[in-house]
Amino acid sequence: MKQNIAIRVDDLTVAYNYKPVLWDIDLEIPEGVLMAIVGPNGAGKSTLIKSILGILKPIAGSVSIYDKPYDKQRALVAYVPQKGSVDWDFPTTALDVVMMGTYGSLGWIKRPGQRQKKAALEALEKVGMLPFKSRQISQLSGGQQQRIFLARALVQNASIYFMDEPFQGVDATTEIAIINILKELRKAGKTVVVVHHDLQTVPEYFDWVTFLNVKKIATGPVKDIFNDNNLTKTYGINYKVSVQE
Amino acid sequence: MSNAQIEIQLIACIVAIACAIPGTFLVLRKMAMISDAISHSILPGIVIGFFITQDLNSPLLILLAAVTGVITVVLVEYIQKTGLVKEDTAIGLVFPALFSIGVILIAKNANDVHLDVDAVLVGELAFAPFDRLLISGTDVGPKSLWIIGSILVLTTSLLFAFFKELKVSTFDAGLAASLGFSPAIIHYGLMTVSSITTVGAFDAVGAILVVALMIAPAASAYLLTNELKRMLIYAIGFGVCSAISGYWVAHVLDASIAGSITTMLGLLFLIVYLIAPNKGVIAVLYRERQQRIEVSLLTFLLHLKNHTEESERHVNHLSEHINWQKVRATSVLELALKNNMIQLDRNIVSLTDKGHEFTTQAIDYIITNQDSKIEHMKDDFFLFRG
């Protein structure tokens, strides 16, 4: 069976101040996979996601979402940035942050109304954060903040989800809660792309993986390509990880 | 009150409101210093505009000054992007350069006209009512009231139209970009509005003191609320209060109105800084003290939990064992008693059931960092409020 390609990246090169951080990336992500992007620090994992989402401008190459440019497909895509990328002292509540997920479908100027609020409350419920809806976001723990971010992505009701290190600095309960939601999303036919750090959990959490270190090392099903050979190529000499089969 | 007095206060209030709105977003974006840079570097824009129009209230002058303001921001960002210097250094490089161009232009060409550095920097609100706007011969009020009034209408309409866009791009520029709200457009829009407001306000309070009206009310409001809309409303309220009280202070002392307004802003911030309920200095000190006692309490309870032998739990031995001064030991003992966590029996201290449960939960929380278990304890104990 030939799968649909959800995300296609062609010859993508991205540079900061003329220094390439991603070099000639070709990548096809099939629809319905739960994919981890792994690689060492500075490998360009976040940069890859940001370039796909048009937040960073590549110096060469192109990206398409279901064969169309990202600009045309925004409604299909939800994004969870790194938790550390925002100021959690910002004067706003958990519910309000989740509501921001609905802004994309509203477009410029139009204000969110009851429908958007209802959707946001449902998303909060799904991540188990409904009791905290009125709490100021700095008063939430790291795990709770991450769940708020996840709820904000869920409320977008997208087909493709990009998440930048959703498991960073969260407690074990939150990690399990998040991965369960991600697996549910996959079951519903959604495509989920996650920047991931913990190599130990890759085989348990994900069914697809991309090794990245400035260049693309390998991409494919976890069971076929998650091996010491690719890990060594990505992380340097003789990287060994004990993969439980 | 005379008509002129009312007009002066009205202008001051409108300036305060027009400044508080962009000021709130500048404070949240940690760009307070940019407003300082803009306020200086619009000088050459004002001077060139004045040479062309020979009128300090001309719209062209406002436009040119606003353009210089945006140029400042672009230059700062350009220098910063080279990665050779940090943002504050870039700001410090750009605005004195532009400002000095303005000073030289005035010194070389404007000696004989009514435009001097002081007038631009400090302003003189008291003279504002003398410069009237005449429409086909009819006096419709002071010119500066119309100018800053129009700017306020512009700012408020933009705020209402783009509130959601401003909020999302200020909080999370990455999300804003992925949703299709270009953070660059919003950023430069805000910079343009800030520049226009600064120019519009320089007549009234001067280009420098306008920084105080942008930053101080927003900074005070930030300490008092956890909601953006309220922060805006509080900032506007603080601005207006300082404008009116500042005017009357100046009236009584026979001093500069702009100087008095700024002094009131400073006082107001100081008061809020001290007594704000959650973020104020006094509240923080109180919380830290409570947390210290609670840590002591927990240490104490844990000691009791770990030691069953009576010698370890005798009141007189406790202070020695845990190595506390008498005062602290007493206050901890009282706190534990008050919460029914311990009981005293012939000077032997032991944990109650509640004390046992509390200690287990607290230690569990500290080890596992799982919030669900201690949600109900957050109301009673500062320690668990993060």
Are B286 and B178 within one domain?
no
pLDDT in 10s for each residue of chain B, 386 residues: 788 899 999 999 999 999 999 999 999 999 988 988 998 888 888 888 888 888 777 788 888 888 999 999 999 999 988 888 888 899 999 999 999 998 888 888 766 666 666 766 677 788 788 878 888 888 888 888 898 999 999 999 999 999 999 999 999 999 999 999 999 999 999 999 999 998 888 767 777 778 999 999 999 999 999 899 999 999 999 999 999 999 999 999 998 888 899 999 999 999 999 999 888 999 999 988 888 888 888 888 888 888 777 777 777 776 666 666 666 777 777 878 887 888 877 777 878 888 888 888 777 777 766 555 556 666 666 666 54
Are B178 and B296 within one domain?
no
**Residue B133, in any domain of the structure:** yes
- The domain spanning residue B286 has which CATH number? 1.10.10.10
How high is the ipTM of this complex? 0.89
User: 3-state SS string over B144-183?
Assistant: HHHHHHHHHHHHHHHHHHHHHHHHHHHHCHHHHHHHCCCH
Question: What's the pLDDT at B170?
Answer: 96
Compute the distance between CA of residue B265 and CA of residue B261 in angstroms, rounded to an integer. Answer: 6
Helices (H), chain A: 45-52, 70-73, 94-99, 103-106, 114-126, 142-154, 172-187, 202-205, 222-225, 228-235
Compute the distance between CA of residue B24 and CA of residue B44 in angstroms, rounded to an integer. Answer: 26
Asked if the Cβ–Cβ distance from A106 to B164 is below 8 Å, we say yes
Non-local (6+) Cβ contacts of A89 within 8 A are: A138
* 3-state helix, strand and coil shares in percent for chain B, rounded to the nearest 5: 80, 5, 15
**Residue B114, in any domain of the structure:** yes
Question: What's the pLDDT at A244?
Answer: 45
Give the end of a domain, one of B181, B213, B245.
B213
Distance from CA of A53 to the nearest CA of B (A): 6
Q: Which residue of A has its CA nearest to B223?
A: A91
**Residue B268, in any domain of the structure:** no
**Residue B11, in any domain of the structure:** yes
Asked if the Cβ–Cβ distance from B171 to A143 is below 8 Å, we say no
**Residue B79, in any domain of the structure:** yes
Question: What's the pLDDT at A141?
Answer: 85
What the block records as the tokens of B168 is: 């999302």
CB pairs under 8 A between A and B: 96
Distance from CA of A241 to the nearest CA of B (A): 26
Using CA atoms, how far residue B199 sits from B60, B99, B133, B168, B232, in Å, is: 11, 14, 18, 27, 21
CB B105 within 8 A of CB B64: no
**Residue B275, in any domain of the structure:** no
Are B49 and B170 within one domain?
yes
Are B144 and B39 within one domain?
yes
CB < 8 Å to A81, chain B: 172, 174-175
What the block records as the tokens of B321 is: 């064992």
CB < 8 Å to B28, chain A: 87, 90-91
Question: What's the pLDDT at B385?
Answer: 59
Asked if the Cβ–Cβ distance from B386 to A54 is below 8 Å, we say no
What the block records as the tokens of B274 is: 């001290």
Distance from CA of B381 to the nearest CA of A (A): 14
Low-confidence ranges of chain A (pLDDT < 70): 1-2, 237-245
Give the end of a domain, one of B198, B213, B228.
B213
Mutate to test the interface with A, among B78, B175, B368 (most CBs of A within 10 A): B175
Q: What is the DSSP string of A23-69?
A: EEEEEEEETT-EEEEE--TTSSHHHHHHHHTTSS--SEEEEEETTB-
**Prediction pTM value:** 0.87
**Residue B372, in any domain of the structure:** yes
Please work out, in degrees rounded to the nearest 5, the angle formed at the alpha carbon of residue A60 by the alpha carbons of A58 and A65.
70
Distance from CA of B267 to the nearest CA of A (A): 23
Compute the distance between CA of residue A125 and CA of residue A141 in angstroms, rounded to an integer. Answer: 17
Number of domains in chain B: 2
Give the end of a domain, one of B171, B194, B213.
B213
Are B21 and B120 within one domain?
yes
Closest listed residue to residue B41, CA positions, set B148, B120, B144: B120
Are B197 and B299 within one domain?
no
* Residue-range definition of the domain harbouring residue B185: 3-213
Are B343 and B207 within one domain?
no
Are B208 and B313 within one domain?
no
Are B166 and B27 within one domain?
yes
CB B23 within 8 A of CB B35: yes
Asked if the Cβ–Cβ distance from B174 to A103 is below 8 Å, we say no
- The domain spanning residue B111 has which CATH number? 1.10.3470.10
Closest listed residue to residue B331, CA positions, set A99, B339, B312: B339
**Residue B119, in any domain of the structure:** yes
Are B65 and B146 within one domain?
yes
